[in-house]
Structure 1
Amino acid sequence: MNDPDLDELASELSEFSAPEKKGGRSPREERVIAGFEEIQRFFAQYGRAPQHGEDRDIFERVYAVRLDRLRALPDCRSLLVPLDHQGLLAGGVIASEPSDAIDVYKLAAELAGVTGADDINVLRHVRTSAEKRAAEEIAAHTPCRDFEDFKPLFQEVETGLKEERWQTKPFGKDASIEVGDFFILAGQIAYVAEMGDTYKTPNAETNGRLRVIYSNGTESDLLLRSLQRALYKDSDGKAGRRLVKVDDGPLFSNEIDDDDQQSGTIYVVRSKSELPAVAAHREVLHKIGVTGRSNIAARFSGAKYDPTFLLADVEIVATYDLYNIDRVRLESLIHRVFSPARMDVEIKDRFGNPVVPREWFLVPLFIVDEAVKRIADGSITQYVYDPKAVQLVKMGATRET
């Protein structure tokens, strides 16, 4: 069955084969004049002839192709010259895009939103190429500026896969997507770092904007439903995979069993540095990290020689023992939660090289206590610190969606 839109567009751009003239104007001549009048109306509205280019409106591109054809055909020129009061036919063929550069069927496909309309100017849901590219680029990968915070997570997963502590499962068997989930998509490990406010689509499905970090150091800002569709059918034609930790239990356990193994300690320290930026915020400026050393004090014995400790001694203000937990994963998670409050300061090491410490955060100690409690109950993956509100808030509450 022929597509009426395609037939109409093909007719508009046809070779204008000349039928036998039986008196008066032929149907072909009427079409040529009508088509030329549309171009004239475009000129009257915009003060110029239609131009080629993917950034142009689809109709302008159609008119540009049509005008090229009318200029190139002698019989059309002779028919239209008496009507050409704007001098449109005087120019040569528009050179910015050859007339055969736009395929009739491609243009017809772009006009597929036109239904039940006789006039080609009546559009429903048709976007310019620039608009379509902009929509496609919403989910384009961009460099992840804080990838160092997430890098240990990917290293843990990659090592875990080799050591069979992690495994892959078909995505279709569990199509849920939550913050903290890992997937394999288009050959990259993808980590769902954040989720904005969710809403219901017209067909009652849950949707929301995600921040997805990839193992190649990029990220994308895409919708939950878009990620689900991509995982159902990956770019190589195979279904995406979900990555899960074997016998993955709670991130942090309140109860200590006889066979539990201590994994390390979360530490919170304050700097004794006299740098103005440090002294002015000493009570709320904390370095938060995770160490596997049993002797915590030994961890900081050389602080005054270490630029990551601001080349100054520190005061230990809080410690939290860990049992049966992945220290690297936990530290990365803590730094992600408090990243909005990371102190921006640069110091020189003993060789004069600039160093930007990344583990110092302007956050009150009671907020750190709350974060540890949320680590214990497993809810911390849903939260991020809001410096303005001075509280932990649900993911998306501080992000524009």
Structure 2
Amino acid sequence: MSDLDLDELRDELADFAQPEKKGGRSAREERIIASFEEIQRFADQHGRAPQHGEERDIFERLYATRLDRLRALEECRSLLAPLDHQGLLAGAENAAAAPAEEMDDDELLAELEGAAGATDITDLRHVRATAEKRAAEEIANRERCEDFPRFKPLFDTVQADIDRGARITQPIRKDAGFLKTDIKAGEFFILGGQIAYVAEVGDRFKAPNGESDARLRVIYSNGTESNLLLRSLQRALYKDETSRRVSEPSAGPLFASESETDDLASGTVYVLRSQSDNSTVAANRDLVHKIGVTGGDVVKRIANAKLDPTFLFADVEIVATYNLFNISRIKLENLIHRIFGPARLDIEIKDRFGNPVIPREWFLVPLFVIDEAVEKIKDGTITGFVYDPKTASLVKHSASPLPGDLA
């Protein structure tokens, strides 16, 4: 020790000194924080923590897996707690990830790979989480659709059509014989909670199993796209229990006593008779009918009839129902109301606040004429017909179809 001066001693000890942390944090800690910040951005955009579930977008499932990992590791919770202004780490006791002692540094970094510097949930080039690997086997890796503005009006139109009933959606059932050949360019599906548009179908080729296949370009309503195969899209649609096929604005028969395999169930036309003690209704009870269309259960629809001015604040009796398929409920209801418009019941009632209400779906029409109208709609001969109250029959109105006819 006497032969060693202070400079030499400092040099000897330098070999054992811990490397100074850049910014006070190690690279590992920076990586953990960056990964958590991505999850925080997701929570800010969606107002909730990412969740698991086959119906969720694959990117959300990926973040949910990451969050489980961070919740499960004590060192991660301690590091991130001061940054967790959204309470995302709550519920750590329910996390399904491996405990800290079973995960070394390499495993953790593998889980968080790609987190640092990533600013978009669709940037998954370096991520290797289990959720993504599993999803990638079913559908090709999605990436940002650079020309999405060209497709966005299509998605807006389809969503508006679905909302107003101009298009309907049909669950994808494997036992119904949904084939790869049923997937064509220009079609819309709902997959993983997103509307998917088949923009392009490439040249056909023979797959290793000998079946015909093709490469697709599929655009999703969240601004991403993928180039998966026909068989991969079919498999993904089968696997997603919430997947649906979107119909054209109008297609197929209007009514059927039984639905065929390819029919898209749309709703029910119902005819009701009122039990109201209103003098006009009571005097014409066998003629006064409410004609409506619903996509739900008719019994549930009328459950609170006596509390609803639409039902004249009285109980009602279901006198006829007709199942309909492949048709816009709104267009059909408008057509029926136009046909029977000349016989619309002119009645005014007071609501519970004393305000006047004029129900618009009640008509002075015999039930047999309603049946006849349904038959004419069913066989496509309703064009130009209108109800004549004087003769209590359907008469040819003109050579031109009624506005809004479903011809």
TM-score greater than 0.5 by the shorter chain: no
Give the TM-score taking structure 1 as reference length: 0.37
